[in-house]
Amino acid sequence: MTTLIRSTMVLLLALALTACGQHYVTPGGGVALLEITDDDLKSYYETRPTAPFPTSIAVVRVQDSGYRSLSLHGYGQGRFSVVTTRDIETDESYEKLAKLPLVADVAPIGRMLVPVNANTIKDLRVPAAKLHADMVLIYSVDTAFTVDGKSLGPLSTVSLGLIPNKKAHVTSTVAGVLIDVRTGHIYGTTEASDLQQQRATIWSTQQAIETARLRAEKNAFKAFVGEFEDLWSGVLASRYTTPAADGNNPPRGRTYDTVKFWERE
Confidence check: pLDDT of 8 > 70: no
What does the pLDDT read at residue 136? 97
pLDDT of 153: 67
Between 143 and 44, where is the model more confident? Answer: 143
The separation between the first and the last C-alpha atoms of the chain, rounded to the nearest angstrom, is: 90
**Which CATH number characterizes residue 60's domain?**
3.30.160.150
- The answer to the question of residue 205 being in a domain is yes
111 band by pLDDT with thresholds 50, 70 and 90: confident
Strand pairing category for 23-25 and 157-159: antiparallel
Structural domain includes residue 16? no
For residue 33, how many C-alpha atoms fall within 13 Å in the half-sphere facing its CB? 23
- Residue 102 belongs to some domain of the structure: yes
pLDDT value of residue 210: 83
Domains identified in the chain, total number: 1
Q: How many other β-carbons are positioned within 10 Å of the β-carbon of residue 263?
A: 6
Is 5 part of any domain? Answer: no
Nearest residue to 216 via CA among 87, 23, 61, 66: 87
Q: Over 70: is that where the pLDDT of 258 sits?
A: no
**Per-residue pLDDT averaged across 146-170, rounded?**
69
Mean pLDDT to the nearest integer, 34-44: 57
Cα 168 from Cα 200, distance rounded (Å): 5
Whole-number Å distance between alpha carbons of 67 and 73: 6
Mean pLDDT confidence for 56-72: 90
- pLDDT over 90 percentage in the chain: 40
pLDDT band at 245 (very low <50, low <70, confident <90, very high): very low
Report whether pLDDT(82) > 90.
Answer: yes
Question: Between 240 and 129, whose confidence is greater?
Answer: 129
Angle formed at CA 143 by CA 119 and CA 31, multiple of 5 degrees: 15
The reply to whether 245 falls in a domain is no
- Compute the distance between CA of residue 222 and CA of residue 94 in angstroms, rounded to an integer: 10
pLDDT for the residue 186 = 92
pLDDT at 149: 73
pTM listed for this prediction: 0.74
Find out whether 262 and 219 touch, Cβ atoms under 8 Å.
no
Strands 150-152 and 135-147: antiparallel
Nearest CA among 159, 175, 173 for reference residue 33: 175
* Relative orientation angle of helices 206-239 and 91-98, to the nearest 10 degrees: 0
User: In this structure, is residue 264 part of a structural domain?
Assistant: no
Distance between CA atoms of 168 and 95, rounded to whole angstroms? 34
In a domain, 219, yes or no: yes
Q: Please answer whether residues 166 and 148 qualify as being in contact, where contact means their C-beta atoms are separated by less than 8 angstroms.
A: yes
Query: 56-60, 84-88, 89-93, 168-172: which has the highest mean pLDDT?
Result: 56-60
More confident residue, 202 or 214: 214
pLDDT given for residue 261 in this prediction: 31
Task: State yes or no: pLDDT of 7 exceeds 70.
Answer: no
- The answer to whether the CB of 137 falls within 8 A of the CB of 103 is no
Of 164, 179, 175, 215, whose CA–CA distance to 194 is shortest? 215
- Given pLDDT bands bounded at 50, 70 and 90, which one contains residue 239? confident
Which structural domain, as residue segments, surrounds residue 39?
Answer: 21-239
| Across 15-29, 37-51, 102-116, 216-230, least confident range | 15-29
Within-domain flag for 192 = yes
Please say if the pLDDT value at position 78 is more than 60: yes
Please choose, from the candidates 58, 179, 184, the residue with its C-alpha nearest in 3D space to the C-alpha of residue 110: 58
- Mean residue pLDDT of the chain comes to 77
pLDDT at position 260 is 32
Asked whether the predicted pLDDT for residue 183 surpasses 60, the reply is yes
